[in-house]
Homo-oligomer: A and B are copies of this chain.
């Protein structure tokens, strides 16, 4: 039954913190309870099909480094790839995977042929999913690799490309629904511009708003219960991507009346590229009510492009899961590794090792975050800091019962001269270091 790709490696199991087995979990223990919920149900791990099984190892200055037996453009090889992929999902014990249409089937000569191939592979996947119990966290359409999308998909100056993209997304939502997917993601890698000189930004935003509205309408019409997610990224491949960051996406959703319909899939690496910390983007999405899911892959802090590395810094990850727990945890979302092996990591086992390391770090981060919440380690000082806002007069200001004149008069009358208090940042940082 085994494809043989992973040799004689058996299921990766939890062996505890002291294990030195590189093919065991030291912290990820699916059934362990954290804040009363199973760790697996907190983290909801997913493997990304593309990076692990389709990416050849190229970069802008070099070509293929991986030599996988399933590389090639036939449906037979696509199925062989699926065999290995599901084998890896099972070896790792991850509950979910994610895919783009372009990862799983070779492009056809026509739209119809591409669509037929996706349907065929979706059936193949359905069998695999049933056999392994692995579920679909989200599906998505690749609207950026083919040259037809070079100037955008929804935002293309050519309405035929808009139409082609719409047809593609329709099928991908259909397939996602058929496979029980819990979310559907849109990443607008080409929805932006290379130069303003040839771009009508207002028009393109309207095109993008229309496209997303049609997607939301369609979802409801067919009864797809999953969440529609936008994945922000500031740039790359474009000079500017319209879904720059969480704040920008929120404004876009508000503009087109979609803020209650669509949420965000936040990637650590994209946050960094936009000049934010990951926890900032999570906290902001939570404050704005649009937090959905995460791509837990880090960016190198010194590299100005998307490095999509497996995460490995536990203190940072603890702060991320802290924000996620504050938001109430994942609903339909999860922890996807939209991460690629370094292109020099050629061995089959490297695929497993990379995921194991990432999952273990997530588990450590989650546990630290949960403990901070249990102890009110950060929330108690936070509440104390804002306690002044509990007075009646302060509440009246905030609720709109006071005008600028009212307040100005009171400042003079009561001779208010505020005295600053310590923000205790280093103290709080030390607190966090008790947990990580």
Contacts and interface: CB of A to CB of B under 8 A. Distances in A.
Interface string A196-231: 111111110111001001110110010000000000
Given A198-B424, A200-B386, A314 B418 contact: no
A173 B405 CA distance: 11
A235 B272 contact: no
B235 A275 contact: yes
A433 interface: yes
Contacts of A433: 312, 314, 357, 360-361
Contacts of A167: 404, 407-408, 410-412, 416
Given A146-B62, A356-B430, A162 B397 contact: yes
Contacts of A156: 418
B346 A422 contact: yes
A158 B404 contact: no
Nearest to A216: B404
A408 to B, nearest CB: 4
A283 B193 CA distance: 12
Interface stretch (A7-15, A87-95, A130-138, A284-292): A284-292
Contacts of A323: 196
Contacts of A389: 157, 159, 203
Which bracket fits the contact residues of A? 35 or more
Given A163-B416, A274-B275, A417-B111, A422 B61 contact: no
A153 B314 CA distance: 34
Contacts of A244: 245, 247
A159 B391 CA distance: 9
Given A61-B144, A417-B110, A425-B195, A235 B345 contact: no
A147 B62 contact: yes
Given A20-B434, A111-B412, A426-B353, A194 B236 contact: no
Contacts of A283: 196, 201
